[in-house]
């Protein structure tokens, strides 16, 4: 796979409608005000003036309170995705199960996932584990370590969009031993970090016109492939993500094929929440301790 990267922004529009009140009601209140005794009118005016006097002269407008989302710091308590809840001892076993499913089944799982909302936050934090999914020829090739450059998941930053609660960006991880299941986790997990992407909520996905999170690699730098001894261009890729299980996101991949053309790549992938040994969020690839990747 020439670009082992994937990733999502947020643009949400809201609109409102003005409702006209019956003119007769407004006229009625106006008429009553005009015919009110002078004493009552004077008292009302005095009360209004007193209320204004209590306001600071240079008072700044109070900003509306922003919604709060959980786990906004790396030191917060982290709950890893748990493969054992689905009868799998580790990430390798879960990925194998997902890859026993047909592409049609994977697409249905992605399409039937709960839809994200414009202010609902984002379910992953810090550095994650991953699966490469699909049974197309392209997916089978991509799962071979020599073809995916050891793509090892994504690390999300800790800057959040204050409206959507979504991290503003991510960086991909690459580890030469990540797919070598014969090695212990301690040798598989170390990875370098390259290829940034923007992350955001989208109200309409390319796949089905419904909400998703997008990972937009439009500004990603090219990356060096040490196996092929060449630079790879990855800034044409976009991923559309949904949470198919708590802590498990599944993504569809799209690539810009021309100035006005975007095509889907017949490969899918999954990201799952990882945590440190002491139960916080991993900020480096090496800090990922749970869930188990393979064996210790």
What total number of domains does the chain contain?
1
To which residue do tokens 């440190």 refer? 276
pLDDT tens per residue, range 226-279: 878 888 888 889 999 999 999 999 999 999 888 788 999 999 999 999 999 999
Q: Is residue 21 part of a domain?
A: no
pLDDT tens per residue, range 77-113: 999 999 999 999 999 999 999 999 999 999 999 999 9
- 278 token code pair: 């002491």
Q: Is residue 268 part of a domain?
A: yes
Mean pLDDT, the chain, rounded, equals 83
Q: Is residue 184 part of a domain?
A: yes
Q: Is residue 213 part of a domain?
A: yes
Q: Is the pLDDT of residue 45 over 90?
A: no
DSSP letter at 251 equals E
Domain holding 251, by residue range, is 83-287
% of the chain exceeding 70 in pLDDT? 77
Q: Is residue 26 part of a domain?
A: no
Q: Sheet of 261-273: strands edge to edge?
A: 128-133, 261-273, 248-258, 237-245, 212-216, 192-202, 169-174, 151-156
Name the least confident of 18-22, 51-55, 133-137, 277-281.
18-22
Exposure letters 130-141 (e unless 16+ CB within 10 A, then b): bbbbbbeeebee
pLDDT tens per residue, range 62-72: 655 555 799 99
Q: Distance between CA 140 and CA 267 in Å, rounded?
A: 9
Q: Is residue 254 part of a domain?
A: yes
Q: Is residue 241 part of a domain?
A: yes
Q: Distance between CA 280 and CA 80 in Å, rounded?
A: 9
Q: Is the pLDDT of residue 43 over 80?
A: no
Listed residue (145, 150, 135, 136) closest to 5, CA to CA: 150
Q: Is residue 294 part of a domain?
A: no
Mean pLDDT value across residues 109-126:
97
Q: Is the pLDDT of residue 211 over 60?
A: yes
């Amino acid at each position: 796979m020439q670009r082992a990267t994937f990733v999502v922004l947020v643009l949400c529009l809201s609109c409102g409608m003005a409702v006209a009140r019956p003119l007769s009601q407004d006229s009625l209140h106006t008429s009553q005000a005009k015919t009110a005794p002078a004493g009552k009118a004077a008292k009302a005016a005095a009360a209004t003036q007193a209320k204004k006097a209590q306001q600071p002269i240079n008072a700044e407008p109070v900003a509306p309170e922003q919604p709060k989302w959980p786990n906004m710091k790396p030191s917060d308590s982290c709950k890893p995705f748990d493969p054992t809840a689905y009868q799998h001892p580790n990430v390798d076993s879960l990925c194998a199960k997902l890859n026993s499913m047909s592409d049609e089944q994977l697409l249905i799982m992605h399409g039937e996932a709960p839809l994200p909302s414009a202010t609902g936050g984002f379910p992953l934090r810090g550095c994650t584990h991953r699966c490469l999914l699909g049974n197309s020829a392209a997916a089978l090739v991509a799962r071979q370590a020599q073809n995916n450059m050891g793509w090892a998941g994504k690390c999300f930053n800790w800057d959040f969009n204050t409206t959507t609660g979504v991290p503003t960006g991510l960086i991909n991880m690459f580890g030469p031993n990540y797919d070598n299941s014969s090695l212990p986790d301690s040798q598989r997990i170390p990875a370098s970090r390259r290829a940034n992407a923007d992350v955001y909520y989208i109200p309409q996905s390319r796949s089905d016109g419904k909400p998703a999170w997008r990972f937009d690699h439009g500004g990603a730098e090219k990356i060096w492939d040490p196996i092929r001894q060449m630079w790879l261009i990855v800034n044409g890729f976009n991923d559309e993500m949904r949470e198919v299980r708590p802590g498990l996101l599944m993504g569809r991949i799209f690539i810009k094929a021309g100035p006005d053309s975007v095509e889907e790549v017949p490969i899918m992938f999954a990201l799952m929440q990882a945590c440190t040994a002491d139960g916080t969020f991993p900020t480096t690839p090496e800090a990922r301790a749970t869930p188990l990747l393979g064996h210790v």
